């Protein structure tokens, strides 16, 4: 019996536009003709963008970012014409679509931008191959297909991310209504218990019996846990204003290590933080991100000796952001729950509400960043979280 294989989204899009190996060969033939024009095309591209106030506003920092973005666009055109047009290519292009969602770039600007690139590159090939009309037709056809494929990838990713955002917002709204109501109702009885506990502890007679003291302490501990749970739930639905100020991530990480205090059998290391430029953000809320991720990593190791490692740097794509990879040598996440690991109330712990990673994502989203989960590379066990935070305009 022959085994059938499900076609990937990228393969489906390639078939839809009719992109073939022959088209790839044609694009590679076009590259040396077009490469000398990349800088000029990038200038035209961003000059056109800056003429439109809404598109200009979507570029955080405006003209201050354009210099770096021009270089990124030239690299994009290089990979457009050289490939390889494989799964890694598809994933890189999907990240571009996700950035468009993050900065709220209207979709119609993607069509305009792709049309401008189509026009400029077509002009180059027709001018270069004026004496070879058949070759010009072959290259123009391949260029049209790859640009259609690029647009299809971006729109596919744009749609997927918008649908995911809408679903998360709907779930969070329902979750928020429930939490707000329950939190308010529970605060009152907990306040009464705390007051009664304070009065009882203030009476010498109640402290003479060790058993009474033990139970009073236990009640106090459980009241504290209940209050912490309510506070965590309310933090998930509150939109506390961000205190935007310059910060160094190395200082935030140091504070997180002090707050968590990893046990002796867990080795914690960090590389690359000192080389990062200052960011703009809320240091208190970003501290919560580091604390939650670090606590999860340490708890994943349990009593087993292991390591937690943070590596900081910049993405290979040239995006205007810093990239933080935190991984541990624990058992990692079950593939069945990876897609839902950032949802509220999703947890694999025997005791836990599953709010830590949901709160991490919420804080990073509000900073214009994000977080993803990926297994450790090389077939190693353990969890691996990749955090992205945008660079301030002055750092680009």
C-beta separation of 344 from 233 below 8 A: no
Cα separation values, 342 from 95, 346, 347, 355, 364, Å:
19, 7, 9, 8, 12
Higher-scoring residue by pLDDT: 370, 242: 370
Distance of alpha carbon 382 from alpha carbon 374, whole angstroms: 10
Distance of alpha carbon 34 from alpha carbon 15, whole angstroms: 26
Cα separation values, 320 from 17, 57, 279, Å:
31, 16, 12
Say what the pLDDT of residue 122 is.
Answer: 92
pLDDT at 195 over 70: yes
Residues 198-225, mean pLDDT to the nearest whole number: 77
200 — alpha (psi -120 to 50), left (phi > 0) or beta? alpha
Map 26-41 to HEC letters: HHHHHHHHHHHHHHHH
Min mean pLDDT across 13-22, 173-182, 328-337 is at 173-182
Gyration radius from the chain CA atoms = 27
C-beta separation of 193 from 216 below 8 A: no
What percent of the chain shows pLDDT beyond 70? Answer: 74
Say what the pLDDT of residue 138 is.
Answer: 93
Distance of alpha carbon 37 from alpha carbon 44, whole angstroms: 11
DSSP 200: H
Q: How many CB atoms lie within 10 A of CB 228?
A: 11
Pairing of strands 306-313, 266-271: parallel
Residues 148-173, mean pLDDT to the nearest whole number: 73
Say what the pLDDT of residue 119 is.
Answer: 92
Q: How many CB atoms lie within 10 A of CB 221?
A: 10
Residues 290-314, mean pLDDT to the nearest whole number: 89
- 232 closest CA partner among 359, 347, 349: 359
Tokens of 316: 């290979």
pLDDT band at 40 (very low <50, low <70, confident <90, very high): very high
pLDDT band at 387 (very low <50, low <70, confident <90, very high): very high
Say what the pLDDT of residue 337 is.
Answer: 73
Distance of alpha carbon 386 from alpha carbon 369, whole angstroms: 11
pLDDT at 93 over 70: yes
Higher-scoring residue by pLDDT: 250, 163: 250
Alpha helix stretches (DSSP H) within the chain: 9-17, 21-34, 38-50, 53-58, 63-82, 87-102, 107-128, 133-201, 210-237, 249-260, 283-301, 356-366
Distance of alpha carbon 181 from alpha carbon 21, whole angstroms: 59
C-beta separation of 111 from 151 below 8 A: yes
Exposed, middle or buried: residue 369 (CB in 10 Å: 0-12, 13-18, 19+)?
buried
Tokens of 275: 């080389």
Say what the pLDDT of residue 326 is.
Answer: 92
Higher-scoring residue by pLDDT: 162, 356: 356
The distance of Cα 12 from the centroid of its chain, to the nearest Å, equals 26
pLDDT at 44 over 80: yes
> 183-193: per-residue pLDDT in tens?
666 777 777 78
Say what the pLDDT of residue 1 is.
Answer: 39
> 227-273: per-residue pLDDT in tens?
776 776 666 666 667 778 899 999 999 999 988 888 889 999 999 99
Higher-scoring residue by pLDDT: 376, 386: 386
The distance of Cα 381 from the centroid of its chain, to the nearest Å, equals 22
pLDDT band at 58 (very low <50, low <70, confident <90, very high): low
Report cis status (omega within 30 of 0) of the bond before 84. Answer: yes
C-beta separation of 357 from 292 below 8 A: yes
pLDDT at 42 over 50: yes
pLDDT at 357 over 80: yes
Tokens of 12: 């489906």
Buried b (16+ CB within 10 A) or exposed e, 278-291: ebbbbbebbbbbbb
């Amino acid at each position: 019996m022959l085994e059938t294989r499900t076609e990937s989204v990228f393969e489906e899009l390639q078939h839809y536009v009719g992109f073939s190996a022959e088209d790839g060969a044609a694009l590679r033939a076009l590259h040396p003709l077009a490469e000398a024009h990349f800088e000029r095309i990038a200038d035209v591209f961003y000059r056109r963008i800056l003429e439109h106030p809404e598109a200009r506003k979507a570029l955080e920092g405006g003209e201050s970012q354009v210099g770096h973005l021009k270089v990124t666009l030239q690299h994009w055109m290089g990979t457009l014409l050289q490939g390889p047009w494989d799964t890694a290519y598809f994933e890189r292009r999907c990240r571009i679509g996700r950035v468009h969602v993050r900065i709220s770039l209207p979709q119609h600007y993607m069509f305009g931008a792709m049309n401008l690139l189509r026009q400029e590159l077509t002009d180059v090939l027709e001018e270069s191959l004026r004496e070879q009309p058949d070759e010009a037709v072959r290259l123009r056809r391949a260029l049209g297909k790859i640009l259609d494929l690029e647009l299809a990838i971006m729109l596919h990713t744009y749609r997927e991310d918008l649908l995911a955002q809408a679903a998360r917002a709907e779930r969070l709204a329902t979750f928020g209504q429930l939490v707000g109501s329950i939190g308010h109702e529970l605060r009152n009885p907990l306040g009464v218990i705390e007051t009664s506990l304070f009065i009882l502890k203030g009476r010498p007679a109640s402290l003479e019996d060790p058993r009474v003291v033990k139970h009073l302490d236990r009640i106090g501990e459980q009241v504290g846990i209940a209050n912490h749970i309510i506070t965590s739930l309310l933090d998930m639905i509150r939109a506390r204003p961000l205190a935007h100020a310059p910060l160094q991530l190395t200082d935030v990480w140091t504070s997180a290590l002090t707050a968590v205090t990893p046990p002796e059998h867990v080795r914690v290391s960090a590389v690359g933080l000192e080389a990062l430029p200052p960011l703009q953000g809320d240091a208190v809320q970003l501290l919560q991100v580091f604390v939650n991720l670090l606590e999860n990593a340490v708890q994943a190791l349990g009593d087993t000796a292991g390591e937690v490692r943070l590596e900081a740097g910049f993405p290979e794509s040239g995006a205007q952001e810093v990239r933080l990879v935190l991984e541990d040598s624990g058992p990692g996440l079950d593939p069945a729950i990876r897609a839902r690991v950032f949802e509220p109330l999703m947890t694999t712990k025997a005791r836990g509400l599953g709010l830590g990673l949901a709160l991490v994502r919420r804080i990073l989203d509000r900073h214009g960043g994000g977080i993803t989960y990926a297994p450790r590379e090389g077939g190693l066990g353990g969890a691996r979280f990749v955090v992205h935070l945008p660079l301030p305009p002055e750092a680009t």
